[in-house]
């Protein structure tokens, strides 16, 4: 049972255009959502997050939108750059510390979307 779904395994976008990566979740207890970026031969690195009390969070070229009623979130990258080419993972959890005690933060990850930005 996949609680976090990224239905597009891959996405190709021209440099300078917008990249939109989508993520759906099924667990209504999820309260906090994150995007991680992963380059080959490296570990995932945190990109941006959003809590359920917001519907949008922006950080430079990266914006995450959350539609709680639809259980859907998306990551927008504008403008896309070749260096953005990587695998993007969507992740979700309950509110920090509520999963199983202080210091606990279990993230449920999607399978990832491979973004290719074409120069």
Partner 1 sequence: DSGVTQTPKHLITATGQRVTLRCSPRSGDLSVYWYQQSLDQGLQFLIQYYNGEERAKGNILERFSAQQFPDLHSELNLSSLELGDSALYFCASNRAGGSTGELFFGEGSRLTVL
Structure token digits, residue 100:
């199983």
Bond prior to 79 in cis (omega within 30° of 0):
yes
Closest approach of Cβ 8 to partner 1, in Å?
A: 14
Binding mask 2-41 for partner 1 (x = CB under 8 A): --x-x-------------------------x-x-x----x
Distance of closest approach, residue 56 Cβ to partner 1, in angstroms: 17
The phi and psi torsions of 39 (rounded to 5 degrees) equal -90, 155
Residue of the chain from 77, 89, 115, 117 that contacts partner 1 (CB under 8 A): 89
Compute the residue count for the chain.
119
Q: Residue 107, interface with partner 1 (CB under 8 A)?
A: yes
Q: CB-hemisphere CA count at 13 Å for 90?
A: 29
Q: For binding to partner 1 (CB under 8 A), which residues are involved?
A: 4, 6, 32, 34, 36, 41-46, 49, 89, 93, 96-97, 99-112
């Amino acid at each position: 049972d996949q609680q976090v779904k990224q239905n597009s395994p891959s996405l190709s976008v021209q440099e300078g255009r917008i990249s939109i990566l989508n993520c759906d979740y099924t667990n209504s207890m999820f309260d906090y959502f994150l995007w991680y970026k992963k380059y080959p031969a490296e570990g995932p690195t945190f990109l941006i997050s959003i809590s359920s009390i917001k519907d949008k969070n922006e950080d430079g070229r990266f914006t995450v939108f959350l539609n709680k009623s639809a259980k859907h979130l998306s990551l927008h990258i504008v403008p896309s750059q070749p260096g953005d080419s990587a695998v993007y993972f969507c992740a979700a959890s309950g509110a920090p510390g509520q999963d199983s005690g202080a210091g606990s933060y279990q993230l449920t990850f999607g399978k990832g979307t491979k973004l290719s930005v074409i120069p």
